[in-house]
Amino acid sequence: MELFFSLMVFILGLIVGSFLNCVIYRLENNRSFLAGRSFCPKCQHVLAWYDLIPVFSFLALKGKCRYCRKKISIQYPLVELATGILFVLVYDVLMSDIPQMSDILTFVVIPFLVVIFVYDLKHYLIPDKIIYPAIGVTLIYDLCLGFTKSTLILG
């Protein structure tokens, strides 16, 4: 049963990683990541749902766009895999007991850190559009963690 939950968390991480790739690409090009469908960065063709299956679509298409046959950056499957692995590691470490709010917020912090890492790696820059929300989420995380620690000490 534990393996099943770890697999589900890994798949969730792959899906989140796929979304993070979209966020990273659209940040680079000053586009909203909330509007519009995913498309090939080279030919601008809107991608079908089966082209968006994390890692598997990349492998099935041999790292090339289905429509223009140009190479897809290795960043896409690497970010998806890294996010999936991070989710599983956090799940295995933090969720062994009854999950606390701070444990759950860790799954919100991870995507921010992945976007910051990849964007900074590519551009040597961390955009304010990511930093300010990340600071807000981290503040909430710290408040929950502080509340959890004080509850453990007092209770």
Tell the residue number behind the tokens 């990683």, with chain if given: 17
In this structure, are residues 133 and 27 in contact, taking their beta carbons and an 8 Å threshold?
no
Q: Residue 146 in 3-state DSSP? A: helix
pLDDT tens, the chain, 155 aa long: 788 989 999 999 999 999 999 999 999 988 888 888 999 989 999 999 999 999 999 999 999 999 999 999 999 999 999 999 999 999 888 776 666 666 777 888 899 999 999 999 999 999 999 999 989 988 887 787 776 554 444 44
Instruction: Please name which of 150, 122, 91, 143 lies closest in space to residue 28, comparing C-alpha atoms.
Output: 122
Please answer whether residues 43 and 67 qualify as being in contact, where contact means their C-beta atoms are separated by less than 8 angstroms.
yes
Helix (H, G, I), strand (E, B) or coil at 127: coil
How many whole angstroms separate alpha carbon 2 and alpha carbon 20?
Answer: 26
Secondary-structure percent of the chain, ordered helix, strand, coil, rounded to 5 = 70, 5, 30
